[in-house]
Amino acid sequence: MSHSGQRLILGFDFGTRRIGVAVGNELTASARALEPLPARDGIPDWPRVARLVEEWQPDLFVVGLPLNMDGSESDMSRRARKFGKRLFGRFGIPCEMADERGSTREAKAIAREAGHRGNYRDEGVDGLAAVLILEAWLAEREGLPSRP
Protein backbone atom coordinates (compact mmCIF):
# COMPACT_ATOMS: atom_id res chain seq x y z
CA MET A 1 0.00 0.00 0.00
CA SER A 2 2.95 2.41 0.28
CA HIS A 3 2.81 5.11 -2.32
CA SER A 4 6.28 5.95 -3.73
CA GLY A 5 8.04 5.41 -0.40
CA GLN A 6 5.52 7.40 1.60
CA ARG A 7 2.70 6.33 3.85
CA LEU A 8 -0.80 7.56 3.10
CA ILE A 9 -2.85 8.23 6.22
CA LEU A 10 -6.55 8.76 6.86
CA GLY A 11 -7.20 10.93 9.92
CA PHE A 12 -10.47 11.09 11.83
CA ASP A 13 -12.03 13.59 14.24
CA PHE A 14 -14.49 11.34 16.06
CA GLY A 15 -17.92 12.72 16.95
CA THR A 16 -21.28 11.26 17.82
CA ARG A 17 -23.12 12.95 14.90
CA ARG A 18 -20.31 13.66 12.44
CA ILE A 19 -16.81 12.29 11.99
CA GLY A 20 -14.32 14.61 10.33
CA VAL A 21 -12.00 12.97 7.81
CA ALA A 22 -8.67 14.09 6.35
CA VAL A 23 -6.09 12.47 4.10
CA GLY A 24 -2.40 13.13 4.42
CA ASN A 25 1.02 11.69 3.73
CA GLU A 26 4.31 11.57 5.53
CA LEU A 27 6.34 12.92 2.63
CA THR A 28 4.70 16.36 2.72
CA ALA A 29 3.62 16.21 6.40
CA SER A 30 0.39 17.84 5.28
CA ALA A 31 -3.27 16.88 5.10
CA ARG A 32 -6.46 17.98 3.41
CA ALA A 33 -10.07 17.65 4.49
CA LEU A 34 -12.46 15.16 2.95
CA GLU A 35 -16.23 15.06 3.24
CA PRO A 36 -17.24 14.37 6.90
CA LEU A 37 -19.00 11.11 7.67
CA PRO A 38 -22.45 11.26 9.20
CA ALA A 39 -22.75 9.14 12.35
CA ARG A 40 -25.55 7.90 14.58
CA ASP A 41 -24.47 7.97 18.20
CA GLY A 42 -20.85 7.64 17.06
CA ILE A 43 -21.48 4.82 14.60
CA PRO A 44 -20.54 5.78 11.05
CA ASP A 45 -21.98 4.52 7.80
CA TRP A 46 -19.46 1.65 7.53
CA PRO A 47 -20.02 1.06 3.78
CA ARG A 48 -19.06 4.72 3.25
CA VAL A 49 -15.92 4.23 5.36
CA ALA A 50 -15.13 1.15 3.25
CA ARG A 51 -15.41 3.26 0.09
CA LEU A 52 -12.94 5.78 1.55
CA VAL A 53 -10.53 2.98 2.40
CA GLU A 54 -10.89 1.50 -1.08
CA GLU A 55 -10.39 4.89 -2.75
CA TRP A 56 -7.37 6.06 -0.71
CA GLN A 57 -5.82 2.70 0.28
CA PRO A 58 -4.29 4.13 3.46
CA ASP A 59 -1.34 2.55 5.22
CA LEU A 60 -2.47 3.90 8.59
CA PHE A 61 -5.43 5.44 10.40
CA VAL A 62 -5.00 8.24 12.94
CA VAL A 63 -7.96 8.94 15.23
CA GLY A 64 -8.13 12.03 17.41
CA LEU A 65 -8.27 11.22 21.12
CA PRO A 66 -10.39 13.82 22.96
CA LEU A 67 -8.68 13.88 26.35
CA ASN A 68 -9.69 16.22 29.14
CA MET A 69 -7.39 19.23 29.53
CA ASP A 70 -5.65 17.50 32.47
CA GLY A 71 -4.87 14.52 30.22
CA SER A 72 -7.43 12.19 31.76
CA GLU A 73 -9.80 10.03 29.72
CA SER A 74 -13.45 10.95 29.16
CA ASP A 75 -16.44 9.06 27.82
CA MET A 76 -15.67 10.54 24.39
CA SER A 77 -12.05 9.32 24.55
CA ARG A 78 -13.25 5.80 25.30
CA ARG A 79 -15.68 6.02 22.37
CA ALA A 80 -12.95 7.34 20.05
CA ARG A 81 -10.68 4.44 21.09
CA LYS A 82 -13.53 2.01 20.34
CA PHE A 83 -13.95 3.61 16.90
CA GLY A 84 -10.20 3.16 16.27
CA LYS A 85 -10.40 -0.50 17.29
CA ARG A 86 -13.34 -1.03 14.97
CA LEU A 87 -11.42 0.56 12.08
CA PHE A 88 -8.56 -1.86 12.67
CA GLY A 89 -10.93 -4.81 13.13
CA ARG A 90 -12.83 -4.12 9.90
CA PHE A 91 -9.94 -3.17 7.63
CA GLY A 92 -6.80 -4.67 9.22
CA ILE A 93 -5.00 -1.33 8.88
CA PRO A 94 -3.02 -0.12 11.91
CA CYS A 95 -4.64 2.68 13.89
CA GLU A 96 -2.92 5.19 16.14
CA MET A 97 -4.57 7.58 18.55
CA ALA A 98 -3.50 11.25 18.59
CA ASP A 99 -4.06 13.78 21.36
CA GLU A 100 -6.57 16.22 19.90
CA ARG A 101 -7.05 18.61 22.81
CA GLY A 102 -8.13 21.95 21.40
CA SER A 103 -8.42 20.91 17.74
CA THR A 104 -12.14 21.66 17.41
CA ARG A 105 -11.74 25.00 19.19
CA GLU A 106 -8.83 25.86 16.87
CA ALA A 107 -10.83 24.78 13.81
CA LYS A 108 -13.74 27.04 14.85
CA ALA A 109 -11.33 29.96 15.37
CA ILE A 110 -9.82 29.40 11.90
CA ALA A 111 -13.32 29.27 10.38
CA ARG A 112 -14.26 32.51 12.17
CA GLU A 113 -11.07 34.22 10.97
CA ALA A 114 -11.92 33.11 7.42
CA GLY A 115 -15.23 34.93 7.75
CA HIS A 116 -17.53 31.95 8.27
CA ARG A 117 -20.56 32.61 10.43
CA GLY A 118 -23.31 30.46 11.81
CA ASN A 119 -23.27 26.70 11.82
CA TYR A 120 -19.60 25.68 11.78
CA ARG A 121 -20.51 22.03 11.15
CA ASP A 122 -22.00 23.01 7.80
CA GLU A 123 -18.82 24.88 6.92
CA GLY A 124 -16.33 22.06 7.24
CA VAL A 125 -15.08 22.40 10.80
CA ASP A 126 -15.15 18.60 11.22
CA GLY A 127 -12.81 18.11 8.27
CA LEU A 128 -10.62 21.02 9.39
CA ALA A 129 -10.35 19.50 12.87
CA ALA A 130 -9.30 16.18 11.27
CA VAL A 131 -6.65 18.08 9.25
CA LEU A 132 -5.32 19.74 12.42
CA ILE A 133 -5.16 16.39 14.23
CA LEU A 134 -3.39 14.68 11.34
CA GLU A 135 -0.94 17.53 10.68
CA ALA A 136 -0.03 17.70 14.38
CA TRP A 137 0.53 13.92 14.40
CA LEU A 138 2.68 14.16 11.25
CA ALA A 139 4.70 17.08 12.65
CA GLU A 140 5.35 15.15 15.85
CA ARG A 141 6.70 12.19 13.82
CA GLU A 142 8.93 14.48 11.78
CA GLY A 143 10.20 16.44 14.78
CA LEU A 144 8.62 19.58 13.35
CA PRO A 145 6.98 22.20 15.55
CA SER A 146 3.24 21.63 15.74
CA ARG A 147 0.64 24.35 15.97
CA PRO A 148 0.33 26.08 19.37
List, for residues 97-136, the tens digit of each pLDDT value.
998 876 666 666 666 676 655 544 444 688 889 999 999 9
- Name the pTM for this structure: 0.83
Query: What's the mean pLDDT in 32-60?
Result: 96
Identify the pLDDT of residue 127: 85
Identify the pLDDT of residue 21: 96
| Domains in the chain: ranges and CATH | 8-142 (3.30.420.140)
C-alpha 130 chain-centroid distance: 3
Query: What's the mean pLDDT in 53-74?
Result: 94
